[in-house]
Amino acid sequence: MSKTNQSEINAVAWSACDTFRGVVDPSDYKNYILVMLFWKYISDLWRDHYDRYMEEFGGDKTRVNRRMARERFTLPDGASFLSLYEKRNEADIGERMNMALEQIEEANKEKLEGVFREVDFNNENKLGQTKDRNARLKHLLEDFNNSKLDLRPSIVGEEDVIGNVYEYLLERFASGAGKKAGEFYTPGQVSSLLARLLKPKKGDTICDPACGSGSLLIKVGRQADDRDFALYGQESNGTTFALCKMNMFLHGMDSFDIKWGDTLRNPRLHEADQLTKFDIVVANPPFSLDKWGQDTAEADPYLRFQRGVPPKSKGDYAFILHMIETAREGSGRVGIVVPHGVLFRSAAEGKIRKKLIEENLLEAVIGLPANLFFGTGIPAAILVFNKGKTTGDVIFIDASHEYKDGKNQNHLTEEHLEKIVSTYQSFETIDKYSYRATAQEIADNDFNLNIPRYVDTFEEEAEIDLDAVKKEIVGLEDELIEVRSKMDGYLKELGL
């Protein structure tokens, strides 16, 4: 049997959105579509394994059921996608779908608890009155019953096809979701860059305290050797938290622990009265978050703000300080996407920045092109901190001018990514691209990290040959005289 093409699966999954377009808000229907993909995947995977074991054990259902009980998850009887598809014409199909999801969640509490809390297939406000709602749900079930969406491993192969289509849908939803898109998705190129900069290794623990849908976390994890790593994260948005847990499951990430809650006000990854320490901490948190929790920061039981309390209206350094505190002492690495204001703003932020540099924690400042991120056109930067630095210097990289133009977003190509990573690894000054600054140079700049202070990208304009310009002007004037003469001749012939 031929394998299903990745692009075909992507196209079918995206076309299934037509059932909702123009009727249901995209911020709502994305959850329904992604849940349907997840549901179809676990149903097809369960069926694939069941059929394989039936063949292996010669139809012995007792042995088959015993083996199925050791699968990554449990699919209760009557809760599969196919079971609901066969009942697609029932008047209470929405309620039946809800009950099936509840059964799946209950049977897999450890991994899937809370995953379906934001999705209600019987919701009149979102999906319409009974007749319209039933028609949409029927169409949705039929869309996902498409033969191109047969997600059994025997059909799609062993590659990460399911994870890929999930990422494809997340990015498509993010690209059209306006300013809130960045809350749940980091562009793949930026995730890849962070993963390669931090260079995780086998056995590492990796955490994203603002993990969104988990795409960045998964990308960093996959830079580690084999599957010997553990992923941790926290997400404040309940809907996005659910997306993250599904994303982990669809990518085959079994060693993960994702918490729901506000990282800054209520960090949930801790051991007794100490924050859990990780080998790698990475994040693309919301830029300049207002009302992040400054009112309780001074009394923080984990002493995250001992270097200073960030401004009430800008939570950038709150995330930075949290991440540094959760990086393993002596070896932990931190990578964070920030707005450029973090590099030079004064007052409380300036004092925090000074202490971080004096403690020799900052390793790299990397300027990125504008319009890379969904929902904002402003350029961002990446800060890399390293608790195991072997030098007191900091590498500044200005990658803001090298990118590929896109219709809605700009992009970093593989060539661009490789140049940034190799420059970071070599830690060398490259004319008009990077600069290795000493701690004294940064202090002399009053701890201002604005990249143009260190990397001079100014291009001198070519000298103007005034004699050549003069000759060109004379030539143009002669041509103008000749053209006017011809025009006068034409006018005379016309009697004008």
pLDDT-based confidence at 178, cuts 50/70/90? very low
**Six-digit token string for 129:** 């009155």
Q: What is the pLDDT of residue 226?
A: 65
Q: Which residue has the tokens 């319409």?
A: 128
Task: Name which CATH class applies to 6-175.
Answer: mainly alpha
- Tell which wins on pLDDT, 317 or 460: 317
**Separation CA 122–CA 97 (nearest Å):** 8
Q: Evaluate if residue 153 carries a pLDDT over 90.
A: no
Provide mean pLDDT across the span 124-143: 92
DSSP E strands in 300-404: the ranges are 333-339, 362-367, 380-386, 394-398
**Separation CA 198–CA 218 (nearest Å):** 13
Out of 167-181, 251-265, 366-380, which region has the weakest mean confidence (pLDDT)?
167-181
- Tell which wins on pLDDT, 134 or 177: 134
Q: What is the pLDDT of residue 157?
A: 65
78: left (phi over 0), alpha (psi -120 to 50) or beta: left
Percent of the chain with pLDDT over 90: 63
Q: What is the pLDDT of residue 44?
A: 92
Out of 274-288, 344-358, 383-397, 472-486, which region has the weakest mean confidence (pLDDT)?
472-486
Q: What is the pLDDT of residue 274?
A: 94
Burial class (CB in 10 A: 0-12, 13-18, 19+), 455: buried
**Separation CA 363–CA 327 (nearest Å):** 14
Q: Structurally, what CATH architecture does the domain formed by 179-453 represent?
A: 3-Layer(aba) Sandwich (3.40)
pLDDT-based confidence at 170, cuts 50/70/90? confident
Q: Evaluate if residue 71 carries a pLDDT over 50.
A: yes
C-beta separation of 245 from 258 below 8 A:
yes
Q: What is the pLDDT of residue 475?
A: 82
Q: Evaluate if residue 460 carries a pLDDT over 60.
A: no
Burial class (CB in 10 A: 0-12, 13-18, 19+), 11: middle
Burial class (CB in 10 A: 0-12, 13-18, 19+), 429: middle
Provide mean pLDDT across the span 352-379: 91
Out of 150-154, 374-378, 425-429, 485-489, which region has the weakest mean confidence (pLDDT)?
374-378
Q: What is the pLDDT of residue 179?
A: 44
Mean of all residue pLDDT scores within the chain: 89
Q: What is the pLDDT of residue 1?
A: 47
Q: pLDDT tens digits, residue range 398-421?
A: 999 998 987 777 889 999 999 999
**Six-digit token string for 419:** 């140049």
Provide mean pLDDT across the span 379-385: 96
Please name every residue paired with 430 in a beta bridge, in sequence order, or none if there are none: 434
Q: 298: which residues sit within 8 A by CB, 6+ positions away?
A: 305, 309
C-beta separation of 192 from 219 below 8 A:
yes
Q: Evaluate if residue 349 carries a pLDDT over 60.
A: yes
Provide mean pLDDT across the span 29-39: 88
Q: Evaluate if residue 494 carries a pLDDT over 80.
A: no
Q: What is the pLDDT of residue 6?
A: 82
3-state secondary structure of 375: coil
Q: What is the pLDDT of residue 24?
A: 79
Q: Evaluate if residue 187 carries a pLDDT over 60.
A: yes
Q: What is the pLDDT of residue 304?
A: 97
C-beta separation of 397 from 455 below 8 A:
yes
Q: Which of these, 45, 4, 25, 375, lies nearest to 165 by C-alpha position? A: 4
C-beta separation of 453 from 445 below 8 A:
yes
